[in-house]
Chains A and B, each alone.
Chain A
Amino acid sequence: MSGAFEKLLWHYQHRSAEALAQHKAGMPVVAFTSSMVPWELIRAAGCFPVLIGPDLDVLDKPTPLADSLMEPVFDSRIRAIFNDVLSGAWSFLRLLIVPRTSEPENKLYLYLREVTRQKLCDKQPPVHLYDLLHTRSSISRKYGIDRTKDLMQRLEGIAPISSKSLASAITESNAARAALRRLQKLRQGEVPRITGSNAHMITGALYFMNRAEYAKLVGEVCRECKSAKPLRGPRLLIKGMPLHHPRLHQALEAHGAVIVAEDDWWGSRAVEANVVPGRGVASIISAIFENYYLHTPSPRVLPAAAADRWFQDSVRRRIDGVVFYLPPEDDVYGWDYPRQRDFLQTSEIPSLLIREDAFCGLSAGANAQIRDFIQKIRRSRHAARV
Chain B
Amino acid sequence: MPRASEKQLESTRASSEHQKTWFAELRRNVFDEKKPYAIAQADMPLELFHLLGVPVVSNQWWAAVVSAKQLSGYFFDALHAAGYHEGLCRYCSLSLASSISGDPAKAPWGGLPKPALLAARLTCDCIQRVFETWAASFGAEFIALDSPGATHLPPRWWELSRDRWRELYEPHRLDFMVAQFGVLIHALERISRIKFSPARLRSLMEGVNRQEEYFDEVRDLICSAPQTPVRMNEQVINVMNAQWHRGTDWAVSHARTFRDEVRHRVEQGIAAYPGEKLRLMWVGAGLWHDTDFYTAFEESLGAVFVWSMYLAFGPDGYIRYGLDDPLRALASRIVSMNEQLHNPPWANEWIVDQAKRHRIDGAVILVPENSRPSATGTFFIKHALENAGIPALEIWADMVDARRWDGASMRQRVAKFIETRVRRA
Given contacts A334-B85, A338-B82, contact A103 B124 (CB under 8 A): yes
Q: Does B299 contact A (CB under 8 A)?
A: no
Q: Does A300 contact B (CB under 8 A)?
A: yes
A335 touches B130 (CB 8 A): yes
Q: Does B372 contact A (CB under 8 A)?
A: yes
A337 touches B83 (CB 8 A): yes
**Cα distance A8–B377 in the bound complex, in angstroms:** 38
**Cα distance A118–B123 in the bound complex, in angstroms:** 25
B376 touches A109 (CB 8 A): no
**Cα distance A64–B378 in the bound complex, in angstroms:** 17
Q: Does A140 contact B (CB under 8 A)?
A: yes
Q: Does B128 contact A (CB under 8 A)?
A: yes
Q: Does B301 contact A (CB under 8 A)?
A: no
Specify which of B153, B343, B344 lies most central, judged by the most chain A CB atoms within 10 Å of its CB. B344
Q: Does B399 contact A (CB under 8 A)?
A: no
A113 touches B153 (CB 8 A): yes
**Cα distance A328–B343 in the bound complex, in angstroms:** 24
Instruction: Considering the complex, give the chain A residue whose CB is closest to the CB of B128.
Output: A302
| Residues in chain B near residue A134, CB distance under 8 A | 146
Given contacts A303-B132, A331-B89, A334-B84, contact A139 B126 (CB under 8 A): no
| Residues in chain A near residue B375, CB distance under 8 A | 71, 73
A133 touches B148 (CB 8 A): yes
Q: Does A117 contact B (CB under 8 A)?
A: yes
Q: Does B125 contact A (CB under 8 A)?
A: yes
| Residues in chain B near residue A355, CB distance under 8 A | 85
**Cα distance A69–B348 in the bound complex, in angstroms:** 12
* Residues of B within 8 A of A (CB-CB), count: 47
B378 touches A335 (CB 8 A): no
B128 touches A143 (CB 8 A): no
Specify which of B125, B155, B343 lies most central, judged by the most chain A CB atoms within 10 Å of its CB. B125
Query: Chain A 104-125 against B: per-residue CB contact (8 Å), 1 yes, 0 no?
Result: 1011011101100110000000
| A71 CB contact (under 8 Å) in B82, B123, B376 | B376
B87 touches A143 (CB 8 A): no
A103 touches B373 (CB 8 A): yes
Instruction: Considering the complex, give the chain B residue whose CB is closest to the CB of A134.
Output: B146
| B380 CB contact (under 8 Å) in A69, A336, A341 | A69
Instruction: Considering the complex, give the chain A residue whose CB is closest to the CB of B96.
Output: A335
**Cα distance A304–B142 in the bound complex, in angstroms:** 12
A131 touches B124 (CB 8 A): no
**Cα distance A341–B344 in the bound complex, in angstroms:** 38
Interface residues of A in 24-76 (CB under 8 A from B): 68-71, 73-74
| A110 CB contact (under 8 Å) in B122, B339, B373, B383 | B339
* Residues of A within 8 A of B (CB-CB), count: 48
Q: Does A86 contact B (CB under 8 A)?
A: no
**Cα distance A100–B147 in the bound complex, in angstroms:** 10
| A131 CB contact (under 8 Å) in B84, B130, B149, B369 | B149
- State how many angstroms separate the Cβ of B344 from the closest Cβ of chain A: 4
- State how many angstroms separate the Cβ of B192 from the closest Cβ of chain A: 23
| Residues in chain B near residue A328, CB distance under 8 A | 87
Instruction: Considering the complex, give the chain B residue whose CB is closest to the CB of A328.
Output: B87
Query: Chain A 175-211 against B: per-residue CB contact (8 Å), 1 yes, 0 no?
Result: 0000000000000000000000000000000000000
**Cα distance A103–B176 in the bound complex, in angstroms:** 18
Q: Does A146 contact B (CB under 8 A)?
A: yes
| Residues in chain B near residue A338, CB distance under 8 A | 82-84
Q: Does B179 contact A (CB under 8 A)?
A: yes
Q: Does A314 contact B (CB under 8 A)?
A: no
**Cα distance A147–B348 in the bound complex, in angstroms:** 28
| Residues in chain A near residue B378, CB distance under 8 A | 71
- State how many angstroms separate the Cβ of B65 from the closest Cβ of chain A: 23
B367 touches A304 (CB 8 A): no
**Cα distance A102–B172 in the bound complex, in angstroms:** 20
**Cα distance A338–B81 in the bound complex, in angstroms:** 10
Given contacts A139-B183, A331-B87, contact A114 B130 (CB under 8 A): no
| Residues in chain B near residue A131, CB distance under 8 A | 148-149, 151
| B122 CB contact (under 8 Å) in A69, A104, A111, A135 | A135
**Cα distance A129–B151 in the bound complex, in angstroms:** 7
Q: Does A326 contact B (CB under 8 A)?
A: yes
**Cα distance A336–B132 in the bound complex, in angstroms:** 10
| B179 CB contact (under 8 Å) in A139, A299, A335, A341 | A139
**Cα distance A69–B379 in the bound complex, in angstroms:** 5
Q: Does B423 contact A (CB under 8 A)?
A: no
B84 touches A335 (CB 8 A): yes
| Residues in chain A near residue B132, CB distance under 8 A | 302-304
| A302 CB contact (under 8 Å) in B88, B122, B151, B179 | B122
Query: Chain A 299-335 against B: per-residue CB contact (8 Å), 1 yes, 0 no?
Result: 1101110000000000000000000001011111011
Q: Does A381 contact B (CB under 8 A)?
A: no
Q: Does B257 contact A (CB under 8 A)?
A: no
Instruction: Considering the complex, give the chain A residue whose CB is closest to the CB of B88.
Output: A334
- State how many angstroms separate the Cβ of A42 from the closest Cβ of chain B: 19
Q: Does B195 contact A (CB under 8 A)?
A: no
- State how many angstroms separate the Cβ of B228 from the closest Cβ of chain A: 30
Q: Does A339 contact B (CB under 8 A)?
A: yes
| Residues in chain B near residue A303, CB distance under 8 A | 132
A336 touches B129 (CB 8 A): yes
Given contacts A69-B379, A117-B345, A302-B132, contact A335 B88 (CB under 8 A): yes
| Residues in chain B near residue A302, CB distance under 8 A | 122, 128, 132, 144, 146
Given contacts A129-B149, A139-B183, A302-B128, contact A107 B376 (CB under 8 A): yes
Query: Chain B 67-92 against A: per-residue CB contact (8 Å), 1 yes, 0 no?
Result: 00000000000000011110111000
Question: With contacts A110-B150, A338-B84 known, what are 14 further pairs, Cβ within 8 A?
Answer: A68-B379, A73-B369, A73-B376, A107-B377, A111-B380, A114-B345, A133-B148, A134-B146, A137-B183, A139-B146, A143-B176, A304-B129, A329-B87, A332-B126
Interface residues of A (CB under 8 A from B): 68-71, 73-74, 100, 102-104, 106-107, 109-111, 113-114, 117-118, 129, 131, 133-135, 137, 139-140, 143, 146, 299-300, 302-304, 326, 328-332, 334-339, 341, 355
Interface residues of B (CB under 8 A from A): 82-85, 87-89, 122-126, 128-130, 132-133, 144, 146-151, 153, 155, 172, 176, 179-180, 183, 339, 343-345, 348, 367, 369, 372-373, 375-380, 383
In order of increasing CB-CB distance, the 9 nearest A-B pairs are A335-B129, A114-B344, A338-B83, A73-B372, A135-B146, A334-B85, A299-B125, A131-B149, A73-B375
A-B contact pairs, 22 of them (CB 8 A): A71-B367, A71-B379, A73-B372, A73-B375, A100-B149, A102-B125, A107-B343, A109-B149, A110-B150, A133-B146, A133-B148, A139-B179, A143-B148, A146-B172, A300-B125, A328-B87, A331-B87, A331-B372, A332-B129, A335-B129, A337-B85, A341-B83
